[in-house]
A and B are shown apart, each in its own frame.
Chain A
């Protein structure tokens, strides 16, 4: 469904993504894990058109989408939930969802958008309770749910999730991940998940890629990755050596 071939990206002169190739099949949940600065978020931003790709090709459902603008990609069915719960804090939950459904409103009218919001309320009952509340007053977990709901409002076929567990309490993280796996089961949604919390991510994913300094160093089934030493090393840094290796 999604296919990256030799994607290269730069921040100024810094070469951030070095020939990154990966693919996500339809209905799959794939996770991209790695340490800080490995290039995970840049990979997502390159897919969703928020960051320019210098070299390489990105294909979505067989079409070349390299260099397309972010708003075009949303129409094609790719939605990203950005890192750090970027919602509109001074607006109410309901208004936030309306903003998320802007595209549906434009394409299919108000009725469809309302239906979409109701669907989100079914999926996240807590948001229904809080719909009149300002988004900024929600708890961290609720804000994350709202961010996901906003992305789902445009009915994507591919959901790009950037660090949904960041800064959340373990129990809440569990809740969020449960929601993601439920989404996958209910709606056959394809998910590309970037995570620092490798264990949690690998538990719900089908496959995973491990990144290190802009390169992919491993691709495997999620349960195989859980047993891999490189995964640990990717988090503790590449200089991490076990006692017997010193």
Chain B
């Protein structure tokens, strides 16, 4: 088993705890001084960072949520002056204010290091050719993947998605050995290969790193057998770093979180009480090394379990379980996080007021599909077929335009679904 940074990846537990405490104290001292929001919420509970003595005490601090990030748009959460920022990412995932993430030179360096750890753990070395098929801009992942790949010394081929034929041609002709994409795009590649009669034996792929949407073991099995690769999961969290936060080693036994850079906790999503290791709850992350955009007890909304036992690969950092569901109503598919309220807003923009609607996510032919069911009401009732078709087309155009991929729109009779339940996720990740 190869390591990128063996010293830091295989630290003893007490060494990890020491470095976490040191970095946590330093981070808290810094954000208290530089970020107004943290100063405010710490003062509300009479907490002064220099008083923090242990990781236990830290659990009394308030959480921050995506709402806090939005309220401090654009630069309110930055802990360094804008001049220190060398990169800004603002993936437009919402209709109002996008999230804004800033990176200093050191942040980018750390990001590269984290991804280099991930890539090395799945067997990437200098000789490898890494094809990154992720949409840049919409996802921040491709930029990090490129940093990490170049740090390892492998060759990166930054691609976007789509144009399947040329993707496969490049994969074959450039002898790409590592494939980085969303699992749904990997399946599209598989289908397209089947259709055009290209066999996995024509390719040089040996492993794949997939993430940014939930995917089950059956999808993994399909990708692995069709592409003849080892497929590993990587957990990306845009607010923190994109990919590099947690990843599977080739043992595929949970996702390693680099505990020298992050402090993970699991809390009960309702009571917000910390949960013991092994119990499923909401993942809460604190960054320990980020300079520009530090997050203290950030509620990720993702459901996971934490496992502190040693992994067979020798890494000592804890592992989280694979993430299949969320506790904040956000649905993730095709690499996009969708807040149901946003769809509601688009509907009300077109219709004047928000009708009852429900988002149905299901799997068809290995691909995730989103259907927006809209309840017919007096306002949405057309005696002319033409008008009705037009209305559906408008909805389709607006929602697909916002998400960047096709959705299905269905008008249904009142009473077909429970209007309180805005999301139905029928996917299974067994």
A interface with B by C-beta (< 8 Å): 3, 5-6, 18-19, 21-23, 209-210, 212, 214-220, 224, 227-230, 238, 242, 244-245
Distance (Å) between the CB of A137 and the closest chain B CB? Answer: 44
Whether the pair B80, A227 counts as a contact (CB closer than 8 A) is no
Closest to A218 in B: B26
Selected from B33, B53, B54, B106, the residue in CB contact (under 8 A) with A220 is B106
**In the complex, what distance in Å separates the CA atom of A174 from the CA atom of B82?**
34
B side interface size, CB within 8 A:
28
Say yes or no: is B289 at the interface (Cβ < 8 Å to chain A). yes
Residues of B within 8 A of A238 (CB): 33
In the complex, which residues of chain A have a beta carbon less than 8 angstroms from the beta carbon of B291?
228
Q: How far is the CA of A5 from the CA of B52 in the complex (A)?
A: 11
Choose from B15, B30, B81, B104 the contact partner of A242 (Cβ within 8 Å): B81
The reply on B21 being an interface residue by CB < 8 A is yes
- Indicate if the CB atoms of A18 and B33 lie closer than 8 Å: no
Give CA–CA (A61, B189) in the complex, Å. Answer: 55
Interface of A is mostly: strand
Choose one: B21, B22, B81, B104; the contact of A244 (CB below 8 Å): B81
Residues of A within 8 A of B29 (CB): 212, 215-217
Residue of B84, B104, B106 with most chain A CB atoms under a 10 A cut-off: B106
- The answer to whether B18 and A242 have CB atoms under 8 Å apart is no
CA distance A229 to B19 in the complex (A): 22
B287 at the interface (CB under 8 A from A): no
Q: How far apart are the CA atoms of A215 and B51 in the complex, in Å?
A: 10
Given known A-B contacts A19-B53, A215-B50, A224-B106, A5 and B80 have beta carbons under 8 A apart: no
Contacts of B420 in A (CB 8 A): none
Residues of B282-314 at the interface with A, using a CB-CB cut-off of 8 Å, are 289, 291
What A residues does B379 contact at CB under 8 A? none
B25 A19 Cβ-Cβ under 8 A: yes
The answer to whether B36 has its CB under 8 Å from any CB of chain A is no
Q: With a CB–CB cut-off of 8 A, which chain A residues contact B30?
A: 217-218, 230
**B163 contacts partner chain A, Cβ-Cβ < 8 Å:** no
Contact residues in A for B26 (Cβ distance below 8 Å): 209-210, 215-219
- Is B97's beta carbon under 8 Å from chain A? no
* B residues less than 8 Å from A21 (CB atoms): 18, 21-22, 25
Closest to A230 in B: B30
CB B426 to nearest CB in A, in angstroms, measures 47
Residues of B389-427 at the interface with A, using a CB-CB cut-off of 8 Å, are none
Residue in A19, A22, A210 whose Cβ sees the most chain B Cβ within 10 Å: A19
Tell me how far the C-beta of B193 lies from the nearest C-beta in chain A, rounded to whole angstroms.
43
Q: Given the interface contacts A5-B21, A19-B50, A217-B29, does A242 sit within 8 Å of B106 by beta carbon?
A: no
Please report whether the interface of chain B is mostly helix, strand, loop or mixed according to DSSP: helix
- Closest approach, in angstroms, between the C-beta of B23 and any C-beta of chain A? 6
Q: Report how far A16 CA is from B243 CA in the complex, Å.
A: 41
How far apart are B99's CB and chain A's nearest CB, in angstroms? 23
Inter-chain contact A229/B106, CB cutoff 8 Å:
no
Q: Could you tell me which B residues sit within 8 Å of A by CB distance? A: 15, 18-19, 21-23, 25-26, 29-30, 33, 49-54, 80-84, 104-106, 109, 289, 291
| Interchain CB contact (< 8 A) of A229 among B23, B53, B54, B80 | B80
Q: How far is the CA of A6 from the CA of B30 in the complex (A)?
A: 17
In the complex with contacts A227-B106, A244-B82, A244-B83, A219-B22 CB distance below 8 A: yes
Q: Which of B21, B23, B50, B53 has the most CB of A within 10 A?
A: B50
A230 to B80, CA, bound (A): 9
Q: Please measure, in the bound complex, the distance between the C-alpha atom of A177 and the C-alpha atom of B303, giving whole angstroms.
A: 51
Residues B19 and A23 in contact, CB atoms below 8 Å apart: yes
Question: Can you list 22 contacts pairing A with B, beta carbon distance less than 8 Å?
Answer: A3-B18, A5-B18, A6-B21, A18-B50, A19-B25, A19-B52, A23-B15, A23-B18, A214-B50, A216-B22, A216-B26, A216-B29, A219-B23, A219-B26, A220-B106, A224-B109, A227-B104, A227-B106, A229-B80, A230-B30, A230-B80, A242-B81
Complex Cα–Cα for A23 and B81 (A):
29
Choose from A216, A229, A242, A245 the contact partner of B25 (Cβ within 8 Å): A216
How many whole Å from A195's CB to the nearest CB in chain B? Answer: 18
Are the C-beta atoms of A245 and B81 separated by less than 8 Å? yes
In the complex, what distance in Å separates the CA atom of A227 from the CA atom of B29? 19
CA distance A110 to B63 in the complex (A): 64
| Among candidates A3, A6, A209, A244, residue contacting B53 with C-beta atoms closer than 8 Å | A6
Given contacts A6-B54, A228-B106, 10 further A-B contacts (CB under 8 A): A19-B53, A21-B21, A21-B22, A209-B22, A214-B50, A215-B25, A217-B30, A218-B30, A219-B19, A220-B289
Q: With the chains together, A23 CA to B30 CA distance in Å?
A: 19
Smallest CB-CB A-B distances: 6 pairs: A18-B50, A224-B106, A21-B22, A217-B29, A6-B53, A215-B29
A38 to chain B, nearest CB (A): 12
- Taking CB atoms, residues of chain A closer than 8 Å to B54 are 6
- B25 adjacent to A23 (CB under 8 Å): no
Q: Which residues of A contact B15 (CB under 8 A)?
A: 23
Q: Which B residues touch A22, using CB under 8 A?
A: 22
Q: Which residues on the A side are within 8 Å of B49 (C-beta)?
A: 215
Tell me, in angstroms, the Cα distance from A214 to B48 when the chains sit together.
13
CA distance A217 to B22 in the complex (A): 9
Instruction: Tell me if B52 and A229 are in contact (CB < 8 A).
Output: no
CA distance A61 to B29 in the complex (A): 28
Nearest-CB distance from A218 to chain B (Å)?
Answer: 5
Q: How far is the CA of A18 from the CA of B28 in the complex (A)?
A: 13
